[in-house]
Structure 1
């Protein structure tokens, strides 16, 4: 059995990949280059995690998406990335404003479509991704509605009816971290400490500690009262 994992190297996609590993799939992990600031660290993290999972790792360049990020002035490309306080992480109005500043035009739609083509080519029936409940509150392409409609398309757009899987879709960030630690113990693997969540490009696998993605990561470990070995600048 084969499966594709869309692996940015962040917490969500890392735990989704662990679940795919637990399910017994022969994995191919894909990291996309769309001109994001954090690309080097995303590749470092994804390569390391893929090696631990005994998965093939591919980097796919999306130059056209990088150009669209420039046109839309996406913060992940320009570096103009907003910060958010822990108190405002669950303030939907504030979170929606930060989301818009880091929104990549049609990113998941494009990445999952390309993943579907690769999955069909290698006869893989499933694509694992990190779609989850916490980010679905602000990112429309992280919702179950998006995933359900995408799977309707692959029923007709692929001969083997590739299916997008979102095993974290009912979880918030601390539940995802907890699941990750449980799977690490069960599988005898250690990958979470190599994951990279930050929107910025920093020294090797160092997190800024102030962008929204870092804040959600920090809060998850804090809620769980688990030691966070992540290296933060702040």
Structure 2
């Protein structure tokens, strides 16, 4: 029997690549998505479609009731999404307070109850500038805690922690992945805005891989 692994799957291109990487590595994957009241909840439709297509177990957990505890972020509050690159200070408004610790805690609980030994999530080096919960020191501490938080140790796996979105896309293209099945834009409108940090980083990754992004932009 294959080793089980929970993959935190947002529906974006990073977690889409991580999901497929885990499948390719032979894990029995359990996909886990969260509705935490994010403005770009549209990403969950993409996650649902991909998991149905791959025929893998997929849970979408509605934790939007805690949205009032996650105030102050432009992703969950009535604050305008900033435009510009992730390296700009203005993008700090997209930080959701303690998001990854919350999501990882629930993913680890699901892993333990499902007898999965690993939890994968898509932190990468491009996130390090503004997202503290994607930095190596955070991952290190979470790995240590999750190894002793229950009778069953759970390993936190971040295959792209020291790689950029450019390198993530290169790996996905190598795997033959179709990125039209992913949503990245922080604005959950009909088309991607092309101006928020998430869109700019995505477009940059496609450009530097000599590829055209299959998504439609405003």
TM-score per shorter chain, which class? over 0.9
1:215 is the counterpart of 2:200 = yes
Task: Give the distance between the partners of 1:155 and 1:105, measured in 2 at CA.
Answer: 24
Once the two structures are TM-superposed, the CA of residue 221 in structure 1 deviates from its matched residue by 0.5
8 Å Cα contact 2:119-2:156 kept in structure 1: yes
Query: Does the CA-based 8 Å contact 2:179-2:214 persist in structure 1?
Result: no
- In the other structure, the counterpart of 2:10 is 8
Shift >6 Å, 4+ stretches: none
1:150-179: CA deviations, max 9, x gaps? 011111112221111000112111111110
Unaligned runs of 5+ in 1: 185-189
Rounded to whole Å, the distance in 2 between the matches of 1:15 and 1:135 is: 16
**1:47 maps to which residue?**
48
1:157 maps to 2:149: yes
Cα 1:63–1:227 shift into 2, 3 Å: closer
Task: Give the aligned length.
Answer: 215
8 Å Cα contact 1:45/1:195 also seen in 2: yes
Aligned partners of 1:214, 1:79: CA distance in 2, in Å?
Answer: 18
Q: Hey, which of these two has a bigger chunk of helix by percent?
A: 1
CA distance in 1, matches of 2:80, 2:39: 10
The separation in 2 between residues aligned to 1:52 and 1:125, in whole angstroms, is 25
* 2:189 aligned with 1:202: yes
Instruction: Provide the alpha-carbon RMSD of the alignment.
Output: 1.4
Aligned partners of 2:147 and 2:154 also within 8 Å: yes
Take 2:53 and 2:179, find their aligned partners in 1: how far apart are those partners? 11
TM superposition score normalised by structure 1: 0.87
Q: Secondary structure at the match of 1:137?
A: coil
**1:64 Cα deviation after fit:** 4.1
Q: How many Å separate the matches in 2 of 1:73 and 1:149?
A: 25
Q: Give the aligned partner of residue 180 of structure 2.
A: 193
Which residue does 1:115 correspond to in 2? Answer: 107
Give the aligned partner of residue 74 of structure 1.
73
Partner of 1:58: 59
Picking from 148, 163, 171, the partner of 1:179 is 171
Whole-angstrom distance in 2 between the partners of 1:195 and 1:125: 27
Per the TM alignment, residue 79 of structure 1 is displaced from its structure 2 partner at its CA by 5.0
